[in-house]
Structure formats: C-alpha cells, structure tokens
A and B are shown apart, each in its own frame.
Chain A
Amino acid sequence: MIEESVFIEFNRQMGNDIWLMGFRSEALASLAKPGQFLMIRIQGNSQDPLIRRPFSIHGIGEGNIILILYQTVGRFTSLLSLTRNHDQISVIGPLGKGFRLPGSKQGAVLVAGGMGLAPMYFLAQALPPDARRNAKLFIGFSTFQGAGLIDLIKGLGLQVSLATEDGSMGFTGTVTDLFEQAIDRDAPEEPVIYACGPHAMLKKIAQKAGRLNLTCYVSLESYMACGLGICLGCAIRAARNQDTEYYYVCKDGPVFSAEIIDWEAL
C-alpha cells in the first residue's frame, strides 16, 4: 500500500454524468489487483471536501496509466470532474481485497449496475484470453449514456449485453431482469458471478445465485472515512451464521462472497 501524489493525464466525459480519468503510477500498476480501490483526495489546502473518497481501480492502461471511472453524484465527484491535465491528486492504495479469478473450467459472468461497471474492466483485463472471450458482461443504466462508455470494455472481447430502464438502448428493463433471463436461458458450464452496483440490485443477484447454487462475488460500497481499517466506519452486517456481527468493507472487502452478507440488513 502506498500514498502517492500524481498528475492527472486526462479526465474525459464519457456520458451524461460519467467521467474517465487517468494518471500514471508504476507502483500502483504493479501492485493493484481487480476489485481493489483507491482513496483519493484533490491536492491543495482546501478542507472542504475534507475526507478522501473511495474509487475502484477501473483498469490499467498502457504506460502504467491507472484508470478511474466515476459518476458525479455530489461535491467531491463534481470537483473531481473539474480537474484538468497536470492537476494533482493524492491517492492511497491499492486497498481492500479484490476479486478471486475464476478457475480454468469456470465461466465468468459479470453484472454491472451503473457505476458498478467501474471494477469490471480491470476484472476483464485480468481474465486469461480464452476465459475473456467466453465471459459475459451484463450492464444496466437508467438511460443510455453513450457508446464510448462500453466500447472500452467491449474492446477486450467479452460478450456484452446492455439494458436501459427507459429502453433508450438495448434490453428495456433492469440489468437484474436481463441477467435473470440470460442465466436461465444459457448459463456457461460452471458460472462464477461477479456483481457490482446498487445494493438493491446486488441483493437480487445474490438471491438468484443462491437459488441456483452458483458462486457469486459482490463488490459492496459503504461510507468510508479512512479506507485503512482504522475508523471502523464502513461496517456492513454479516450473515447470521458468520462468527462476526459486522464486516468492514475496506478491509474484509469490498469484494465479498455473497453468502456471507446479511442482505436483509442492507
């Protein structure tokens, strides 16, 4: 784990409120694993926003470029979208436990709700070429955000299916509906499900996976004050049969095996 001040190489608008940012870091490029995240702060003396914010590592580009895909939802992310080339940010990472990659006989099924796309590109990058070609990605947005957003991950050769809730592109409905239909129709031999997105969506995916007895990993979110396992703020309820009442998303996660989470409490 390192703390580094880095210069932004690019910060591009990819959709209505979605941005892709890149910065160079040899250290992070060599340390990071899919599913891990960074705690980011915009450099300067301003104390508002104060606390670092967590962002998944979206992927690693050529020349050790670390990619961050983010949505402007509030003060920090709005300010982040205003940063330009050569502005400085401070990053701490890589943090947390990432995805466990599928075994050689298993088929990866990736399910992303909105910004849940963020960790999926890195996961797809890490799959061996064969597994990648056979991997399926289901991605859902409330409305179509432009082709640029999914072209990047399509370029890795996955089978990508898109859902929009308003029907502006692809399947009309939620990504959960799309996933449930597809997994019933033609699931790969031994599917492993990787899901990231809003907690209500993850709950449905986890329940479906549970009914079908499939291995399912979810990447969860919570408010984080430190990201380092210190503040004990990022608690999430563990399933009743676990030997702890809470897991801490920054240390024990953000990726969890779906069956160890108490989905009723989320």
Chain B
Amino acid sequence: MAITPDLSVDIGGLRIKNPVIAASGTFGYGTELSPFYDPSLLGAIVVKGLSLQPMPGNPPPRTVETPCGLLNSIGLANIGINAFIKEKLPLLADTAAPVIVNIYGNSVGEYSELAGRIEGVDGISAIEVNISCPNVEKGGMVFGTDPETASKVTDGVVKRTTKPVIVKLTPNVADIAVIAKAVESAGAGALSVTNTFLGMSVDIASRRPVLTNVVGGLSGPAIKPMALYLTYRAVEAVKIPVIGLGGIMNHQDAIEFLLVGARAIQVGTANFINPRAALEIVHGLRNFCERENLSDINHLIGSLIKE
C-alpha cells in the first residue's frame, strides 16, 4: 500500500511542510508567479533582497546568458524594507507558505537595523542574511569573505530578532567551512549555501564586458556541481541545518542536495525557465519518496553512501 510521505523539515527553528523554498531574487516579492500556481504549496518563499533604503540597481545591461548559466549584476535593486512591509507583505497575508525576508546592508549596523525593523512584524517567519555584498565601511570587502566580519553581521542580526536567522553564504571564498563555522558560532540558526559565483562575459566585437558592471554573479545549472560540493562541505563543518541551492532545475537535482545533507533546498534561476519548477520539484520529491518507500523525507537527508 502506498504511504503518504512526510515531507516536512526543520530549518533552524522554522518548521516547513516541504523542503522546497523559492530563492531570493528569483521569486519577486512573492506574488509574481501566482498566475502559474499557489505559492502556498511551497515550503517557504524568500523575497527579493531588501535594504534600509530603496535601491535603483546597476546601469544596464544587467543580465546575460552564458553556457547553461545566467550572469547577473542587478545591483540588489529593491523597494526598501519599509515599502515592502507596507505594500507587498499584506499581499502575502493569504499565502500559507512562510515568508522569509532576505536582507543586506552596507555596514554591520545596517544589518542589525534591518533586523530591528522586521522584529515584531507579523507575516515574516524568518530572516535570511545575504552576506555576499560589499562592506562600504571596509573599502568594499565582501562581508561573507571574512570570518570575523561574517560573524559580526550574524551576531548583530541575532541580537535584534526573535525570528530564526538563516545566513546565506558566498561561494567566493577559499574555504566555506571556515565561514560556516564562524557564522554558526555567532548564533545563526541555519545556512543557505550558496549565492552566485563571480563571473564575466566579454563581447569580442566591441571588446567590452557585456555587463556594464563588468562582473556579475553566475547562477543556473552551470554552477550545480560546485554548489553541491560547497553544500556537502558546509554540512560536514556545522551542526546547524544547511539549505542547499545553486543550479537546481528539477527534483533529481534537489535529491542530490538532500543526499549530501541539505535539510532543504532553494530553487532560483529555474523559476525563470519553468515558472512551475519549484512546485514540480515538490511533486517530484513526494513521488520519489513514495517509490522508495520512505515515510519521512528526513530519512533521505544526508543518506549519501560514500564507501
């Protein structure tokens, strides 16, 4: 007889009904893909990265395709935390999936101030801290590339909130385990691994970089093996749950991340290619568990056979 598998997982104090989460920057402010399906069916939604002030973003072109990948330099354009809370969050009131707010700042202080603004706001279930952006006070060094700065940011956020805190790591570091451990010690409830990989594309006819910003972040299937490895490495380094992402296009990709120990996964670029991708991954995971006779998806997580 077919069992109905339990797909729910716990990500650092937030219980979600299935391990499929929409990734920041690829799901808008939560309602843009509603014409295609009810986002309530997902485990959770991470909204576009928000800052204290609205940000216009970089001069175009901001995106270009590279083999099996997407290079973007959006420049963290967003409407600002206040406008989000006032105008966008109410539209999500009927959405049964938890809303996770992704935040970024220009200084350690801005991160904690953002956490402070979110504290006490109903309808926000957790905070995801994007530490892949430059620290203006430290000459533009990326917060997430230095363990000390990364833990300061984490500590600043954790102290200002009662909501679960997920820290989203950058892959552009020598050893992700070092950063993962630092952030764990500073009180993070979970990690998201990984943000985009730095990349470039050049137009040989004009001899110019395709992106006005010169450098962009690479996402999509091109980064999957690297993101999977970083997830594996982070899982080994910390005890807190790790959310895996990077190039997940279908449920088979998602299962690879779960097998190396990701407690949940996020779907990013795939949302652009197939707007129903995240929902299809939920269905695919359920079918897989049924076929494999797994009553609980947690039995799949971390069950990689290495010998």
Contact = CB atoms under 8 A, between A and B. Distances in A.
A92 interface: yes
B72 A231 contact: yes
Contacts of B271: 226, 230
Contacts of A51: 65, 70, 272-273
Interface string A37-69: 000010000011111100000000000000000
Given A3-B36, A50-B70, A225-B70, A230 B26 contact: yes
B111 interface: no
Contact of B221 (A47, A237, A245): A47
Interface string B33-76: 10110000000000010000000111111111101111010100
A230 B62 CA distance: 13
Given A50-B68, A50-B220, A246-B56, A228 B273 contact: no
B39 to A, nearest CB: 12
B35 A1 contact: yes
Contacts of A90: 274
A232 B77 contact: yes
Contacts of B77: 232, 235, 246
Contacts of A230: 25-28, 32-33, 271-272
A226 B26 CA distance: 9
Interface in A212-266: 222-226, 228-237, 244-246, 265
A3 B60 CA distance: 27
Interface of B, helix, strand, loop or mixed by DSSP: loop
Contacts of B269: 50, 225
Given A48-B68, A49-B65, A51-B272, A222 B60 contact: yes
Interface residues of B, number: 36
A31 to B, nearest CB: 11
Given A92-B275, A245-B56, A246-B57, A228 B67 contact: no
B22 to A, nearest CB: 10
A229 B68 contact: no
Contact residues on A (Cβ < 8 Å of other chain), bracket: 20 to 34
A50 B221 contact: yes
A230 B35 CA distance: 13
Interface string B121-162: 000000000000000000000000000000000000000000
B63 A225 contact: yes
Contacts of A50: 65, 68-70, 220-221, 269, 273
Nearest to A2: B35
Contacts of B221: 47, 50
A222 B61 contact: yes
Contacts of B72: 225, 231, 233
A50 B223 CA distance: 13
Contacts of B275: 3, 92, 228
B57 A232 contact: yes
B62 A223 contact: yes
B70 A47 contact: no
Contacts of B27: 230
Could you say which of A52, A233, A236, A245 has the most chain B C-beta atoms within 10 Å of its C-beta? A233
Contacts of B32: 228-230
A181 to B, nearest CB: 32
B276 interface: yes
Interface string B63-105: 1110111101010010000000000000000000000000000
A233 B63 contact: yes
A233 B65 CA distance: 12
A59 to B, nearest CB: 24
Interface string B262-285: 000000010111111000000000
A155 B72 CA distance: 43
B249 interface: yes
B26 A231 contact: yes
Contacts of A92: 275
A235 B65 contact: no
B71 to A, nearest CB: 10
B54 to A, nearest CB: 10
A265 B56 CA distance: 15
B273 A233 contact: no
A222 B249 CA distance: 25
30 contacts: A2-B35, A3-B36, A3-B275, A3-B276, A48-B68, A50-B65, A50-B68, A50-B69, A50-B220, A50-B269, A51-B273, A52-B272, A52-B273, A92-B275, A223-B60, A223-B62, A225-B72, A226-B271, A228-B33, A228-B272, A229-B32, A230-B28, A231-B26, A231-B63, A231-B72, A231-B272, A232-B57, A232-B77, A233-B74, A265-B59
Given A223-B64, A230-B272, A231-B26, 8 more contacts: A2-B35, A50-B65, A225-B70, A228-B28, A229-B28, A233-B61, A234-B63, A244-B56
